[in-house]
Amino acid sequence: MEIAELGEFGLIKHLTKDITPCNTSTHKGVGDDCAVISTGTEDRMLVTTDLLMEGVHFDLTYMPLRHLGYKAVMVNLSDIYAMNGTPSQITVSLAISKRFKVEDIEELYSGMRMACEHHKVDIVGGDTTSSMTGLAISITAIGYAKEEDIAYRSGAKETDLICVSGNLGAAYMGLQILEREKSVYNQQVKEATQQAQRNGSNVEEAIAQIPQPDFAGKEYLLERQMKPEARKDIVEKLHLANVKITSMIDISDGLSSELMHICEQSQCGCRIYEERIPLDYQTAVTAEEFNLNVSTCALNGGEDYELLFTVPLTANEIVSAIEDVKVIGYITKPELGKALICRDGSEFELKAQGWNHMTTE
Amino acid sequence: MEIAELGEFGLIKHLTKDITPCNTSTHKGVGDDCAVISTGTEDRMLVTTDLLMEGVHFDLTYMPLRHLGYKAVMVNLSDIYAMNGTPSQITVSLAISKRFKVEDIEELYSGMRMACEHHKVDIVGGDTTSSMTGLAISITAIGYAKEEDIAYRSGAKETDLICVSGNLGAAYMGLQILEREKSVYNQQVKEATQQAQRNGSNVEEAIAQIPQPDFAGKEYLLERQMKPEARKDIVEKLHLANVKITSMIDISDGLSSELMHICEQSQCGCRIYEERIPLDYQTAVTAEEFNLNVSTCALNGGEDYELLFTVPLTANEIVSAIEDVKVIGYITKPELGKALICRDGSEFELKAQGWNHMTTE
């Protein structure tokens, strides 16, 4: 059977479906942003891991190594925050192909260390090896949370409010811009090379004369794609406001896909409103430029690393007053399905088109 | 600067040299088989991680996926045992290229699950993604140990006895056999193809007629290479015998290299005796067949996953009575250096030629 038939989530479900933990310390295994391990105190340990592969998750033609290092750490810390936890340690494994110099790995590492400093996280170990092909980065993050504070995907209840931090779709639009400029540049290199060969002039010089792309007005989108920030601040604000988070997940694969995870694991339905999905001005303008529906970008674009969470209806006033948090809908009975209410009042069933590297799409 | 100039250990040292932990829970960071994290109880948590890359760490032309899965877990559990700990959980990240089917990943996973069952370890999470090239496997293992029991690399003291479990060099000899048979097979395929083309007969049929290699008498060596077993039993026996382990490391890169880590971190020297290095009969016979010095294979061959440890001199009788443990020498003052005493009485300074993927060797 082709893996694409199952997709990433289907494959994981298939492989892990009959795993029964044999250690009493295994409090929660596969199926949430983090595993949860008992420690013998009121604190639980949270563990999450991500494997980033060159050519699949990043493109070094436009991704500076320092940014890549920063982002590789952030995507893991985001999973710890998504459990309402505090990250404390990471391990970093790298597989490095021959084309990298020590200075390159220093750059990558400096981005990782900057991310760790911002979030007060220690690099405590890892593995460094060679790769026959591209760069591979595997990071495992460890954090902690009190059991009563942990926000699982499975805790959403009927009438709970569905909230989102920040805004969505910006990282996806940033990626579109980078991909467009890459293909423009490749075309320019081809033309400059042909012209130089025809004229008998120096090819390298001709390439060096190609102007740098102009990203004016798109800085925010590029930053969202290249240097995402895990939302520690939101978790802290919710804690200070004494809000009980009933379920939470970070938005790495797109709002639709994540909301479906919450609904599936909480055995509930949902209603969200298109007009309430938070969007940045640059995201909207750029989507128009690319002839894309901005709501589709927000629903299905990946890598936002914002938080999607539910709170009891009674917390409405409190969460609505928190800067950078928006209520976008509410949780319903499962039989009501997962509905998106559009600006014109029409209803659609939510689908996870998501950011799934393994489907054939 | 080329990474090969520094090598794996040099690169890690270079990148992590000025890292100062900022979390009080970080008890021990980079530099041992595992990181050690405080939990608030007398138990410490141990964390270790390994990244295995196709073409570097394994060759799927002769490594069955089930064995690969088993081995990938074992190399991580071995690091937990090397701290005198008990493994409890692992996370598994896979990057999978298009040529793999669901059935292949099931095979890989079944080997992982078998390893976990043998060692009572839970798979609690991971990441599954696609790869543009080969297979990548990243496993993080978590375990625990009481602080007073943890065996660091840094605890060896003058006059301590140096002990080794099992026997050494067998996995390396297993690899030599597999590599030889692979090149014989490739040559046979080439010849069969040419012959069939000359005769106008079916190439595939001709290839199918090539006899399977005969591994009679080499089974033990192949098993040591393809299905290594982390030495849980040794750790348990030492515990039952109430032996205080002063330092420990697992032998993944060769005895020389590991002993040098212990000497460096314990700031001591050592004297080991060639005639006391434990060897299996098949290892010795096969080394002769390959015209290799068997002691060199034992000192520098990788992937044995045996334990190298030191105990106080007073434990001599006890450890000598433990099956599958051999005393091979003792710890000295640092100024006496790291000496290997050969069978003829001559002395050599130990060198780590090891199993270092990143040097130019």
| Digit-coded pLDDT (tens) for A263-280 | 999 999 999 999 999 999
CB contacts < 8 A (A, B): 255
Can you tell me the distance from the alpha carbon of B78 to that of B82, in angstroms, rounded to the nearest whole number?
A: 6
Chain B 43-102, CB below 8 Å of chain A: which residues?
43, 45, 47-57, 88-89, 91, 93-96, 100-102
Q: Kindly report the CA angle at B78 between B137 and A75, in degrees rounded to 5?
A: 40
pLDDT of A7 reads 83
Residue A264's contacts (CB-CB under 8 Å, 6 or more residues apart) are: none
Residue of chain A minimizing CA distance to B55:
A132
On the CB side of A190, how many CA atoms lie within 13 Å of its CA?
6
Largest CA distance in chain B: 75
Q: Report domain extents, chain B.
A: 3-147, 161-174+222-349
In which element (H, E) is residue A326 found?
strand A325-332
DSSP classification of residue B5: H
Contacts B55 to A, Cβ<8 Å: 132-133
Confirm or reject contact between B103 and chain A (CB < 8 A): yes
Please state whether beta strands A122-130 and A161-165 pair in parallel, antiparallel, or not at all (unpaired): unpaired
For B147-243, list the strands marked E by DSSP.
161-165
Given A40, A50, A131, which is nearest B43 (Cβ)? A40
Q: What distance lies between CA A115 and its chain's CA centroid?
A: 15
Q: What is the pLDDT of residues B2-45, one digit of tens each?
A: 888 888 888 888 888 888 899 999 999 898 999 999 998 999 99
> Would you state the CATH architecture of domain A3-149?
2-Layer Sandwich (3.30)
Nearest to B73 by CA among B110, B36, B103, B45: B110
Given B11, B30, B57, which is nearest A105 (Cβ)? B11
Q: Kindly report the CA angle at A113 between A112 and A116, in degrees rounded to 5?
A: 90
Residue of chain A minimizing CA distance to B108:
A15
| Residue pointed to by tokens 């002691």 | B295
Q: Which residues of A113-126 are buried (b: 16+ CB within 10 A; e: fewer)?
A: bbbbeebebbbbbb
Q: What is the pLDDT of residues A156-205, one digit of tens each?
A: 999 999 999 999 999 999 999 999 999 999 999 999 999 999 999 999 99
Nearest to A52 by CA among A72, A33, A67: A72
Q: Kindly report the CA angle at B27 between B23 and B28, in degrees rounded to 5?
A: 115
Q: What is the pLDDT of residues B140-194, one digit of tens each?
A: 999 999 999 999 999 999 999 999 999 999 999 999 999 999 999 999 999 999 9
Task: With a cut of 60, say whether residue A148 has pLDDT above it.
Answer: yes
ipTM: 0.92
What average pLDDT score do residues A236-263 get? 96
pLDDT of A5 reads 86
pLDDT of A213 reads 86
Q: Kindly report the CA angle at B203 between B199 and B207, in degrees rounded to 5?
A: 120
Q: What is the CA radius of gyration of chain B?
A: 22
Chain A 130-189, CB below 8 Å of chain B: which residues?
130-134, 136, 138, 140, 142, 144
Can you tell me the distance from the alpha carbon of A178 to that of A291, in angstroms, rounded to the nearest whole number?
A: 16
Task: With a cut of 90, say whether residue A3 has pLDDT above it.
Answer: no
Q: A2–B101: do the CB atoms touch at under 8 Å?
A: yes
Mutation choice for B interface testing from A8, A130, A355 by most B CBs within 10 A: A130
Question: Which two structure tokens, joined as six digits, stand for B348?
Answer: 């050599």
Can you tell me the distance from the alpha carbon of A30 to that of A48, in angstroms, rounded to the nearest whole number?
A: 10
Confirm or reject contact between B252 and chain A (CB < 8 A): no
Confirm or reject contact between B123 and chain A (CB < 8 A): yes
Q: What is the pLDDT of residues B95-132, one digit of tens each?
A: 999 999 999 999 999 999 999 999 999 999 999 999 99
DSSP A179-222: HHHHHHHHHHHHHHHHHHHHHT--HHHHHHTSPPP--TT-HHHH
Which one-letter amino acid corresponds to residue B314?
T
DSSP classification of residue B42: S
Same fold, B3-147 and B161-174+222-349: no
Q: B123–A29: do the CB atoms touch at under 8 Å?
A: yes
What average pLDDT score do residues A328-345 get? 96
Backbone angles phi, psi at A269, to 5 degrees: -105, -175
DSSP-based three-state secondary structure for B306: strand
Which one-letter amino acid corresponds to residue B328?
I
From the CB of residue B220, how many other CB atoms can be counted at a distance below 10 Å? 17
What average pLDDT score do residues A122-131 get? 93
What average pLDDT score do residues B287-309 get? 95
pLDDT of A286 reads 96
Given A96, A122, A140, which is nearest B49 (Cβ)? A140
For A74, left (φ over 0), alpha (ψ -120 to 50), or beta? alpha
pTM of the model: 0.93
Q: What is the CA radius of gyration of chain A?
A: 22
Distance from CA of A313 to the nearest CA of B (A): 32
Q: How confident is the model at residue A353 (pLDDT cuts 50, 70, 90)?
A: low
Q: B125–A30: do the CB atoms touch at under 8 Å?
A: yes
- Residues pairing with A325 in the sheet: A165
Contacts B96 to A, Cβ<8 Å: 3, 358
Q: Kindly report the CA angle at B39 between B33 and B45, in degrees rounded to 5?
A: 20
Domain B3-147 has CATH 3.30.1330.10: yes
Which one-letter amino acid corresponds to residue A139?
I
Percent of chain B with pLDDT over 70: 97
Can you tell me the distance from the alpha carbon of B196 to that of B200, in angstroms, rounded to the nearest whole number?
A: 6
Contacts A144 to B, Cβ<8 Å: 25
Q: What is the pLDDT of residues B201-220, one digit of tens each?
A: 999 999 998 988 889 889 99
Q: A124–B8: do the CB atoms touch at under 8 Å?
A: no
Task: With a cut of 60, say whether residue B1 has pLDDT above it.
Answer: yes
Q: What is the mean pLDDT of chain A?
A: 93
DSSP-based three-state secondary structure for B222: helix
Q: What is the pLDDT of residues A35-70, one digit of tens each?
A: 999 998 999 999 999 999 999 999 999 999 999 999
Q: Where are the alpha helices (DSSP H) in A211-280?
A: 219-226, 232-240, 255-266
Q: B102–A5: do the CB atoms touch at under 8 Å?
A: yes
Q: Kindly report the CA angle at A92 between A91 and A93, in degrees rounded to 5?
A: 125
DSSP classification of residue B166: S
Question: Which two structure tokens, joined as six digits, stand for B257?
Answer: 């290299």
Domain B161-174+222-349 has CATH 3.40.50.300: no
Question: In a 10 Å sphere around its CB, with 0-12 CB exposed, 13-18 middle and 19+ buried, how is residue A158 labelled?
Answer: middle
